[in-house]
Structure 1
Amino acid sequence: MELHHLEAFSAVMSAGSITGAGRLLARSQPAVTRQIQELEADLGYALFDRNGPRVTPTHRAFLLYDEVERSLVGLKAIEERARAIGADAADPVRIAATPSLAAAIVPHAIAAVPPLAQAPQFQLRSQSAEHVVSEVLMRTADIGLVTLPMAHAGLDVHWIAEAPCVVVLRNGDPLAAQPSVALRDLADRRIVTVANRHRLRHRIDAAFAAEKITANIFLETNASLNAVAAARAGVGVAIVDPASGLALALDGVVARPLDATIPFCFGVVTPAGKLRRPPVDALLAALATSTRELLDGVVLHDASAHDALLQPERHMASGARSTHDNPRSRDRRKHPASRGAAT
């Protein structure tokens, strides 16, 4: 298995045809065809079903694709780093984060890093929580922002943020006139929310179950930003994390607190035992500051709180607080803000 075989495979998967892959790679169509055939012969199974000039990936091709892409990206990073070493250039700071955190928290934090502490370049990739953990464990990311759970031995957890979820409503929705929204008010409404039941979704389901409400989950999505966009389009009301509902100002929607606290928890992690560079430490500090500034009612917990935060009966109103808690967050919990993402 040669590198040019993997490049050909990746290009065909992206382009959907041998001809298109040849254009992407600046190779002839016969050359790409031969490289795919050689790869299939080496693997011992077909990667594509042929139908004239077009090809259809097999099930095995899709399984292989993620691994190939990860390897090619890693090789590209090695090449870029090798050139940077030759030019005596500093490493970029590489960040992996779930989509809502990548959009809402990370850019604000990067902008807040003092000029003298800035890295020459930052690289930000938004991925699923599971892939964020993988990037940090493989040390292809310097910092990860990931929702709980994340009890992996290869991670250094710097802190865990906890903030209440919100409901996002289309402008003009009658519930938008209220300072807060009761779950019971949503009993007859179409609900849009996230789908990963091993993370935030199980807390949302538990909140409805505790109120003995059968929620009409009309649309599930793998990203809370999609849920906010669906609420703006009038598909339903979205129950999402506060990073998506509050920290991002989107026209056409307002965010309101819920009468039942549904905790959203995420942590900031780095590879365990890896010596951190000053720009990484500067960004870690900026991430904590930005999280406090952007998320109403947020509490920053020590890493040791991880398992306790996963307990289903735990509630933010229980009074458990961290030494990282700040007075402004306590004031917000006493007087929840009825804040619109845009008005």
Structure 2
Amino acid sequence: MPDMNNGALDIRQLEAFVAVMSAGSITGAARLLDRSQPAVTRQIRDLEAEIGYELLHRSGPRISPTPRGVLFHVQVERLFFGLKHIRERAAAIGAGALPAIELAATPALAAGIVPDALAAMDPALLPRQIHIEALSAEGVVQQVLSQSADFGLATLPIEHPGLDVHWIGEAPCLAAMAESDPLASLDVVALADLAARRVITMANPYRLRRRVDEAFAAAGIAPRELIDANASLTALALARRGLGIAIIEPAAACGLPIKGVVLRPLDVTIPFLFGAISPVARPLTPSIAALNEALLKSAAALIPGFVLRDAAGTEMLADAVYGAADNQEARS
């Protein structure tokens, strides 16, 4: 394998690889880059020779990424994303303008409360460039830890020594259903009402899904059928089509209401917990500080039953997230 420490990778080779991954073919990549097809082919082969492994499977005119190619593409995309933002920040510094805002948030929070928060901010504090990346909660944490994002909104748990937690919000989950569903006539939906129904819930077993499962177990109920999804908007869309009753976090459900979907409180409290984070000991710019305040106000205004929790009360918070018994065992 070549020693890559002997020289830097060629940016044109990396551009060719990213273009091939985006277009799905050498021909398409050549069009995107305004280069000849032989030039793109040569650049990909030179890149493979430099790093010491194949990035693409070739079968006649058809290509597909190798497993290593998929992993390498993630790293290259991150590099290009960072270079783009460096150019923008350099231009802002040169112009004496506000630095760009790099915000990472889970899809539910990005769609549910971020738009209202940005709309409520003083326009003088909004930079020309605002980047919003919707990621898993784990992805949000990693982006903030690596300082690829200035600020993040993620569901709990988010405890990490590399993070400053600015505030934590809690609100009860809701039941979402088609407006034609018989349960839509109720003021409150009981978990017992869902025993014979298909339930739609979240897939991640370490966050909201865990609390949903614990609520059913405590009530002695096992849903007859289950659909899980990795995004709240998907769960709401499934509920709208009458495919089941969704137990949903309230941020997306209330911040981005969907026509044909009815929301009802549950007879038990299933807490949805989320927080605002930034890299530890990194002062907030005036724009980020204003965004932080606007996000908190937006969450309080949009989400029914929103309660501000003590971000410093990590032990109490861990009990709320994982269950007191689990955490007592972990601490003993």
Q: TM-score, normalised by structure 1?
A: 0.88
Could you tell me which of 29, 33, 36 is aligned with 1:25?
Answer: 33
Higher mean C-alpha deviation, range 147-156 or range 216-225? 216-225
Asked if 1 retains the 8 angstrom alpha-carbon contact of 2:98 and 2:125, the reply is: no
Shift of 1:306: 3.6
- Residue 180 (1) aligns with residue 188 (2): yes
**Other-structure match for 1:325:** none
- Residue 141 (1) aligns with residue 153 (2): no
CA distance in 1, matches of 2:83, 2:210: 38
- After superposition, the C-alpha distances for 1:169-212 in whole angstroms (9 at most, x for unaligned) are 00110001101101111111111111111111111111111111
Could you tell me which of 79, 88, 95 is aligned with 2:87?
Answer: 79
Asked if 2 retains the 8 angstrom alpha-carbon contact of 1:40 and 1:46, the reply is: yes
Asked if 1 retains the 8 angstrom alpha-carbon contact of 2:162 and 2:280, the reply is: yes
Asked if 1 retains the 8 angstrom alpha-carbon contact of 2:195 and 2:222, the reply is: yes
Q: 1:216 to 1:245 in 2, by over 3 A?
A: farther
Shift of 1:235: 1.9
- Residue 277 (1) aligns with residue 285 (2): yes
**Other-structure match for 2:122:** 114
- Residue 263 (1) aligns with residue 268 (2): no
Aligned partner of residue 63 in structure 1, secondary structure: helix
Aligned partner of residue 97 in structure 2, secondary structure: coil
CA distance in 2, matches of 1:272, 1:309: 19
Asked if 2 retains the 8 angstrom alpha-carbon contact of 1:193 and 1:217, the reply is: no
Could you tell me which of 247, 253, 261 is aligned with 2:255?
Answer: 247
Asked if 2 retains the 8 angstrom alpha-carbon contact of 1:183 and 1:208, the reply is: yes
CA distance in 2, matches of 1:308, 1:8: 51
**Other-structure match for 1:318:** none
CA distance in 2, matches of 1:43, 1:119: 39
- Residue 205 (1) aligns with residue 213 (2): yes
Q: 1:305 to 1:112 in 2, by over 3 A?
A: same
RMSD: 1.5
Q: 1:28 to 1:270 in 2, by over 3 A?
A: same
**Other-structure match for 2:4:** none
Shift of 1:132: 0.9
**Other-structure match for 1:46:** 54
Could you tell me which of 152, 160, 170 is aligned with 1:152?
Answer: 160
Shift of 1:118: 3.4
Asked if 1 retains the 8 angstrom alpha-carbon contact of 2:112 and 2:253, the reply is: no
CA distance in 2, matches of 1:233, 1:305: 41
CA distance in 1, matches of 2:201, 2:82: 33
Aligned partner of residue 264 in structure 1, secondary structure: strand
Q: TM-score, normalised by structure 2?
A: 0.90
Q: 1:297 to 1:86 in 2, by over 3 A?
A: same
**Other-structure match for 1:218:** 226
**Other-structure match for 1:330:** none
CA distance in 1, matches of 2:224, 2:16: 45
CA distance in 2, matches of 1:205, 1:301: 23
1:316-327 residue pairs with structure 2 within 5 A?
none
Q: 1:273 to 1:313 in 2, by over 3 A?
A: closer
Shift of 1:217: 4.8
**Other-structure match for 2:104:** 96
Aligned partner of residue 303 in structure 1, secondary structure: coil
Shift of 1:296: 0.8
CA distance in 2, matches of 1:285, 1:155: 18
- Residue 11 (1) aligns with residue 19 (2): yes
Count of residues in Structure 1 that have an aligned counterpart in Structure 2: 314
Any stretches of 5+ residues in structure 2 without a counterpart? Answer: 1-8, 325-332
Q: 1:306 to 1:5 in 2, by over 3 A?
A: farther
Aligned partner of residue 163 in structure 1, secondary structure: strand
Which amino acid in the other structure matches residue 158 of structure 1?
A: H
- After superposition, the C-alpha distances for 1:276-295 in whole angstroms (9 at most, x for unaligned) are 21111111111111111111
Asked if 2 retains the 8 angstrom alpha-carbon contact of 1:228 and 1:238, the reply is: yes
Shift of 1:72: 0.9
Asked if 2 retains the 8 angstrom alpha-carbon contact of 1:181 and 1:256, the reply is: yes
Which amino acid in the other structure matches residue 133 of structure 2?
A: R
- Residue 36 (1) aligns with residue 63 (2): no
